[in-house]
Amino acid sequence: KIMDMAIAAGAPLVSLNDGAGARIQEGVTALAGYGGIFRRNTAASGVIPQISVMLGPCAGGAAYSPALTDFVFMVRETSQMFITGPDVVKAVTGEEITQNGLGGADVHAETSGVCHFAYDDEETCLEEVRYLLSLLPGNNRENPPRTECSDPADRRCEALADLVPEDGNRPYDMTKVIEEIVDDGEYLEVHQRWARNIICALARLDGQVVGIIANQPQTLAGVLDIEASEKAARFVQMCDAFSIPLVTLLDVPGFLPGVGQEHGGIIRRGAKLLYAYCNATVPRISLILRKAYGGAYIVMDSQSIGA
């Protein structure tokens, strides 16, 4: 009912999750209940912002609901997500692992990419949920909330001259560049610990919320690989759905070469990012900081695909 009301009212949906999955005794009836939730998650996708906050375990089919939402928050040592628990894993494969080792906050923040934000305690987690909501519109028919800003939009960023090395092979921290150009140096990085060779963040420029996609030269020289392509594609689609303009900061040597990347589907994942940019209807600005080579130049919002 709440999900239906949120969709009808055009209001964001925040789900607080803490459960061990369906009761086996309830059989198909319980599974049908999950199916109704999944269907509504899908119907709400791109219509209203959906945020899942994991405040405990989420096991079995229930774990699919957070995965269908726009953002997943987890708390270390408290939140776990997995389809099959450690006991089942041990019985079937012989592998021994703890709940946190199988599906804890750090696992999903760094390895699987399911978790967008991970925090040490529930209080901090909920504070960041509120901050995220302040950056998002209520629904896809509204614009993101604009705020008054004391940081002049036309201020000079003299520090940028020293932050970006002239030598194209020298790494630097792209987060420092982002801090220089956004309002008051504040931004919210999404998937901060997964696919670190690309940065996705929400920030404000002159009070206007923007989505920032940037290569990170400090990690893998900022190349595009399977995970980076998937991370950026989903972020671009989210921003486009909720009328958030896109700013792309390029410093990319190309796609990561290798048998593992080719066999792992870099063509398919790279195409997802290309499709997301080509399909986006929000204002888009691309800035090449130092270099942009090969197919990665085209894929990362080049002028030829609509920037």
Q: Choose the catalytic residue: 22, 60, 228, 270.
A: 60
Q: Is the pLDDT of residue 29 over 90?
A: no
**Is 145 inside a domain boundary?**
no
The reported pLDDT for the residue numbered 183 is 96
List the single range of 42-46, 136-140, 149-153 with lowest mean pLDDT.
149-153
Range of the domain at 294: 160-305
For residues 51 and 18, the model is more confident at: 51
Same domain, 109 and 204: no
Give a yes or no: residue 41 inside a domain: yes
Tell me whether residue 282 is in a domain: yes
Tens of pLDDT, residues 169-196: 899 999 999 999 999 999 999 999 999 9
Instruction: Check whether residue 264 and residue 170 sit in a common domain.
Output: yes
Q: Does a structural domain hold residue 91? A: yes
Give pLDDT, residue 1. 83
- Catalytic hit among 105, 201, 280, 296: 296
Q: How is residue 250 annotated by DSSP?
A: E
H-helix or E-strand spanning residue 8? helix 2-9
Decide if pLDDT at 24 tops 70. no
* Catalytic residue of the set 21, 61, 264, 265: 61
Do 246 and 181 share a domain, yes or no?
Answer: yes
Q: How confident is the model at residue 153 (pLDDT cuts 50, 70, 90)?
A: confident
Query: Is residue 199 over pLDDT 80?
Result: yes
Structural domain includes residue 147:
no
- Specify whether 73 is located in the same domain as 176: no
> Same structural domain for residues 204 and 105?
no
Residue 23 lies in a domain: yes
Strand 198-205 relative to strand 187-190: parallel, antiparallel, unpaired? antiparallel
Buried/exposed 214-227: b ≥16 CB within 10 Å, e otherwise:
bbbbebbbbbbbbb
Task: Specify the DSSP class assigned to residue 111.
Answer: I
Active site (annotated) includes residue 60: yes
Closest CA to 305 of 255, 243, 246, 217: 246
Q: Is residue 140 over pLDDT 90?
A: yes
| pTM of this structure | 0.94
pLDDT tens digits for range 60-95:
888 999 999 999 999 999 999 999 889 999 999 999
- Where residue 249 sits, what CATH number does that domain have? 3.90.226.10
Mark out the alpha helices in 158-282 (DSSP H runs). Answer: 160-163, 174-181, 226-241, 259-264, 266-279
Query: Looking at 119, 135, 151, which one is the last position of a domain?
Result: 135
Q: What total number of domains does the chain contain?
A: 2
**Beta-bridge mates of residue 203:** 187, 210
167 and 100 assigned to the same domain: no
Residue 32 lies in a domain: yes
Are 170 and 101 part of one and the same domain?
no
Task: Indicate if 129 and 184 belong to the same structural domain.
Answer: no
* In the predicted structure, residue 31 carries a pLDDT above the cut 90: no
Tell which of 135, 151, 182 closes a domain: 135
Using the Cα atoms of residue 167, residue 169, residue 170 and residue 176 in order, give the sign of their dihedral. positive
165 and 31 assigned to the same domain: no
Q: Is residue 141 included in any domain, yes or no?
A: no
Mean per-residue pLDDT over the chain, rounded? 94
Spot the catalytic one: 33, 271, 295, 307. 295
Tokens of 111: 């390895």
Same domain membership, residue 201 and residue 108? no
> In the structure, what pLDDT confidence band is assigned to residue 158 with cuts at 50, 70 and 90?
confident
Q: Are 193 and 114 contacting, i.e. CB atoms less than 8 angstroms apart?
A: no
In this model, does residue 22 exceed pLDDT 70? no
Q: Is the pLDDT of residue 19 over 90?
A: no
Please report where in the chains the tokens 């994942």 appear, as a residue. 269
Examine the fold and report which residue of 120, 135, 150 is the final residue of a domain before the chain moves on: 135
For residues 244 and 291, the answer to whether their CB atoms sit within 8 Å is no
Same domain assignment for residues 221 and 170: yes
3-class SS of residue 79? coil
296: annotated active-site residue: yes
What's the whole-number mean pLDDT along residues 202-218? 97
Q: Residue 153 has which token pair?
A: 């939009």
Residues 90 and 206 in one domain: no
